[in-house]
Structure 1
Amino acid sequence: MVTHLFFADNSLLFCKVSVYECQQLIDILQLYEATFGQKVNTDKSSIFFSRNTPEEVKNKVMSTLGPMSDSRHSKYLGLPSIIGKSKTEVFTEIKERVGKKLSGWKEKILSIGGKEVLIKQLPKQF
């Protein structure tokens, strides 16, 4: 059974790690390509395995799916593929990036008095 999530022009497809299910997934993608005339970009496509997946099964699935990479060490929409135990560590970078972006936006639209208040609200580490 294939399940899915859609994000704008990105899709996440989930299936069991078996050659049969991966072949079904390929058939679905080929049908999509034939029906809508859009080609799936395998250079931008990747696969993620759970840590319990045996290497032999991974190799079989990877050879079935073709030119896709293992996404264990990549990011998706700016977020890490694997979050792990330390969520604080993982999301600190994102929190800092969002904070800088918001600060930049606030600086552009605030009056001089508003900017002074913003500066006084910044954490001591900045």
Structure 2
Amino acid sequence: MGKLTSLEVTNLTSILNCFSYVSGLTINEAKSKVWFSANTSAGSKRILMNSFQVTEADADGKYLGCPIAVDSERSFDYLIEKFEKRLNHWKANFITHAGRLVLIESVLDSLPIYAMGTITVPRKVIVKLTAIARNFFWGGKHDKKSLAYVA
């Protein structure tokens, strides 16, 4: 957006109003948040938030399910939690290795696809997700290392 001035706020308001008029769509202030760069002053933030009746997004906020600011592997903990949550419901000791492979390939492998298509997922996170799937395949438990029968 550039430097925040009252003229820019007025222009942005005008653009959004024109869009709303033409499309019939409006901004839902209750669901809308704004994310500022680190060098935005508190006064500028206040002006913009008051003008649009929105709140400030958290630094660890998400947009369409993906983290807005990727600062470390911690930003992708939600992917690891998704894997583990899904595996907690599966009773692997009642599933054959072929069944486990089908579950991994059809369900687990599809979970991070959107995130991987929108942002670069760190290699350490991919290694961790692979380890979780591998442990489930060989041992039936995602949280314990198991003996692999094939190298």
TM-score by length of structure 1 reads 0.62
- Does the 8 Å CA contact 1:32/1:38 hold for their aligned counterparts? yes
Q: Find the residue that maps to 2:13 and give its secondary structure.
A: helix
| Map of 1:95 onto structure 2 | 80
Q: 1:114 aligns to what?
A: 98
Match of 1:70 among 37, 50, 56: 56
Contact 1:46 1:68 in 2 (8 A): yes
Rounded Cα–Cα distance in structure 1 between residues aligned with 2:3 and 2:33? 14
- Report the CA distance shift for 1:72/1:96 in structure 2 as closer, same or farther (over 3 A): closer
Segments of structure 1 that go 5 or more residues without pairing to the other structure are 1-14
Give 2:47's aligned residue: 60
Give the alignment's Cα RMSD to 1 decimal: 3.2
Work out the number of aligned pairs and report it.
105
Q: Distance in 1 between matches of 2:36 and 2:100?
A: 50
Q: CA–CA distance in 2 between the matches of 1:116 and 1:27?
A: 55
Alignment-mate amino acid for residue 79 of structure 2: I
Match of 2:33 in 1: 46
SS in structure 2 opposite 1:41?
coil
How big is each residue's C-alpha offset from its partner over 1:63-120, in whole Å with a ceiling of 9 and x where there is no partner? 222x101012432222333332xx212213313414654x59x98xxx7341366531
Distance (Å, rounded) in 2 between the aligned partners of 1:58 and 1:38: 25
Within 1, Cα distance between the matches of 2:43 and 2:100?
A: 61
Q: 1:113 to 1:79 in 2, by over 3 A?
A: closer
Q: TM-score if structure 2 supplies the norm length? A: 0.54
Larger radius of gyration: 2
Work out whether residues 33 and 39 of structure 1, in 8 Å CA contact, stay in contact via their aligned partners in 2: yes
Kindly provide the amino acid, as one letter, of the partner of residue 16 in structure 1. G
Q: CA deviation at 1:35?
A: 0.9
Amino acid at match of 2:36: F
Structure that is richer in helix per residue: 2
Higher strand share: 1
User: 2:128 maps to what in 1?
Assistant: none
Flag the 1:120–1:39 CA change in 2: closer, same or farther, 3 A. same
Partner of 1:7: none
